[in-house]
Structure 1
Amino acid sequence: MTYRRKNVRRRQNVKLALASLAVLAACAHPNRPVSPIESDMLAYSSAISDARQEQLLMNIVRLRYNDPVTFVDAERITTTENTQINGMLASALALGGQDLDEVLNGNVGTNMSSQPSIAYSALRGSDYAQQILQPLPPATIFLMSQSGWSVERLMLCCVSRIGDLENARAAAGPTPPVMPDNARFRELAALMRSLQERGQLMVQVVDADTSETDGDGKPRVILKWNRTSELGQQLADFFRRYWVSDVSVIPGDRYITEISTRGNSLGDYAARGRSLLGVLSALSQSVHVPEAHRDIARASQPVSEYSDDPCRAPGGWHDVNGGLFAVQSAEARPASATIAVEYRDYWFYVDDRCHDAKETLNLLDHLYALQAGISSDATTLLLLGG
């Protein structure tokens, strides 16, 4: 009878232990992804954002050396979740015939893993032509200006010409032998920025009038500003003097004009925009080339003296780009770098203290993303912000 009671008790303990293992296993396999969604999304988002900016910076550096560029995008990210559940049942029995109740111990463990799979695509053919070579359309720039971006930054980076004013067009290609002069264009961009900061510059995009027989079907950009201020009068005089557009007076003591992409009554002085490749090429002139590479990457003449300011572009390019971008170089990655890439055995980086350079790189990131979603459109860039 004693043996039977012990056998029954043993079977009961085994059932109890197995039941406990089942409960633990069920708790260890919740109905949710193995990796928390929040951490996955933050990790992937941060990695993709850093990769995009590093790719832009790398292409800017490569253009400074007249090396070919390439653009690769992450099209799709999927993850495979794996869970392994391990259980163990331990039994302690009496030895030597003495009385000892059997002890059963159970435990369960899980091994969880997440394996991401990323699909990449390189820009080629029509996609490359649309996203990289197509001049930036008015809708894109207007969207950026309405989001609070500086009209001065947008003009200096993205506009090639407006009216009779050139914005260093030679800079949007290989490094020119002579430093271009865009002083008048910078003056116009700074004047418009001053009005924008005071809330006195308003821009509206109007759908094209389909009744016009000579229209190009593109949206019209209307610019209005206060005429009672000195800055307002200066802008009107500037527009007239350099054939940017006609300027008229409207009620409310305001000026009004239309910035055209197809010329105006003053002449064939349409607003011309840079492609994204042209923007990158122009910014590549602001890369500091290591002394060891002076014979590899050509510099424009004249070359100014060296400056230890990490936010200052080399030579006279600091003036040409309005001080909005600079890329430094070093043999080792500096601790002050906010983003850096290694190329030709040197590190090229944007210093974390250079707020203008970081903003310009962020602007490029936005423009690159926006260009990907724009249908084919041959409109040249029209860039004014309010």
Structure 2
Amino acid sequence: MIYLVFSVNFRMICFLLTILLLFGPIGCLNFGPVSLKSERSKYNMAIQKTNDEQLLLNLVRLKYRDTPFFLEVSNVASQFRMKNKVSAAAQLESMVKDIFNLGASSTYEESPTVSYTPLQGDKFVKNIMSTLPLKTITLLFQSGWSVERVFRVCFQMLGQLENAPGASGPTPKLAPQYKEFLQSVKYLQELDDRDALRIIYQEPNGQPQMLLQVSDDAKTSKPALEFARSINSIPSLKQYILTHFPTPDQVQHFPVIMNRGKELRIVPRSLLGMLFYLSQSIEIPKRDLLKGKVTLTKTAKGEDFDWFEVTGELLTIRSSDEKPLRATVRVFYRDTWFYIDDSDLNSKSTFSLLTQIYSLQSGSIKSTEPI
């Protein structure tokens, strides 16, 4: 009798184990796609978050005249391993039939490998310290960014109008020239808002140029006439040529041909210059100002200059002793929290533009051994 019970139970266990082994792997078929969907989003958000934090951190470093450092994620690899466990136990007694226990469990392990590449040497000079190409600036405008935001961030001179060129390096001691430039690009923005402005890139004889083209209907409008006046050009022009090469003297005496347009010397910033420029938008804690940890810019009258007159409409980076709760990005540096408020849409837009420029300049990152 004992033999018969054992025989029945053993056959039942074997049957159930066979079912588990045959149909258990079906769950594994969904494991790959499900894990990919879940983990890819997590890695995407983690890399985006740390990239934003690194960019904000370097802005703060530059304001304090500390050394910036860029560490790029060059490769992310992740391995998933699934383990299945099946157990069986039976109680073999002559008086008790068909008593047995079955168990099954599955676990998976993730092994991520992240590779980092420091941006230094030739790549740092080429991507961070070289002026932004006119072709890239044109691409930014054509991809939907406003002409005012792009010009204010990317250019430090338009014709003879200065856009705080001294701010493209460490904070200057004297207040910059900027008001005429800001007003001039606001006229361009008015034309752009009316869909009356086109910006085109060309390279005649290998010389990079940006063409500002005003529509026929708008060339005699108030913003078009005011823009022409602000750059000392004759009114009602349909086209302006922005280029690196003419010197200010050549531009002043350059004959304007109605069907060609007026040439203007343009001076773009480097990415590092943009970072320095936008670092002026940081609210510095009073204790650091009193201790002389940052440069205080003075007006010609010896009064403190407010940099928010230059960058306030573009970007505001706030500071707090306590961790901010409503921040789109934040970093803790020098015992202070620096952050961008999540409801500050202008600042978020400019910061997003800066991240795009950084991505365009960084280009492809050569993969290295993981660290």
> Which interval holds the TM-score relative to the shorter structure?
0.7 to 0.9
2:251 to 254, 266, 272: 266
CA-to-aligned-CA distance 1:290-344 (integer Å, 9 cap, x gap): 11211211221259xxxxxxxxxx9521221252111111111111222110001
Cα distance between partner residues in 2 of 1:325 and 1:316: 14
Question: More relative contact order in 1 or in 2 (CA 8 Å, sep 6+)?
Answer: 1
Which residue in 1 is equivalent to 2:87? 88
Which residue in 1 is equivalent to 2:126? 130
Q: Secondary structure at the match of 1:128?
A: helix
Letter in 1 for 2:226: Q
1:74 corresponds to 2:63: no
1:331 to 317, 321, 334: 321
Contact 1:181–1:320 under 8 Å retained in 2: no
Where do residues 1-386 of structure 1 align in structure 2 (5 Å cutoff)?
2-30=1-29, 32-33=31-32, 36-94=35-93, 97=94, 99-206=95-202, 208-209=203-204, 215=205, 217-225=206-214, 226-241=218-233, 249=237, 255-263=238-246, 265-267=250-252, 270-294=265-289, 295-302=292-299, 316-321=306-311, 323-373=313-363
Contact 1:162–1:272 under 8 Å retained in 2: yes
| C-alpha deviation, 1:31, in angstroms | 6.3
Contact 2:86–2:104 under 8 Å retained in 1: yes
Q: Secondary structure at the match of 1:356?
A: helix
Letter in 1 for 2:146: S
Q: Secondary structure at the match of 2:265?
A: coil
Q: Secondary structure at the match of 1:55?
A: helix
Unaligned runs of 5+ in 2: 255-263, 365-371
Q: Secondary structure at the match of 2:157?
A: strand
Identity of aligned residues (%): 28
Cα distance between partner residues in 2 of 1:10 and 1:335: 62
Contact 1:131–1:371 under 8 Å retained in 2: yes
Contact 1:62–1:68 under 8 Å retained in 2: yes
Cα distance between partner residues in 2 of 1:47 and 1:114: 16
Contact 2:156–2:165 under 8 Å retained in 1: yes
Unaligned runs of 5+ in 1: 210-214, 250-254, 304-313, 375-386
Letter in 1 for 2:341: D
Q: CA distance change for structure 1 residues 7 and 275 in 2, over 3 Å: closer, same or farther?
A: same
Cα distance between partner residues in 1 of 2:312 and 2:222: 23
Contact 1:248–1:257 under 8 Å retained in 2: no
Cα distance between partner residues in 2 of 1:328 and 1:3: 81
> Which deviates the most, 17-26 or 339-348?
17-26
Cα distance between partner residues in 2 of 1:332 and 1:196: 41
Contact 1:17–1:104 under 8 Å retained in 2: no
Q: Flag as ranges the 4+ runs of structure 1 deviating above 6 A.
A: none
| C-alpha deviation, 1:247, in angstroms | 7.3
| C-alpha deviation, 1:231, in angstroms | 1.6
CA-to-aligned-CA distance 1:179-205 (integer Å, 9 cap, x gap): 212110001111111111111111222
Cα distance between partner residues in 1 of 2:244 and 2:312: 24
Contact 2:159–2:266 under 8 Å retained in 1: yes
Cα distance between partner residues in 1 of 2:236 and 2:38: 56
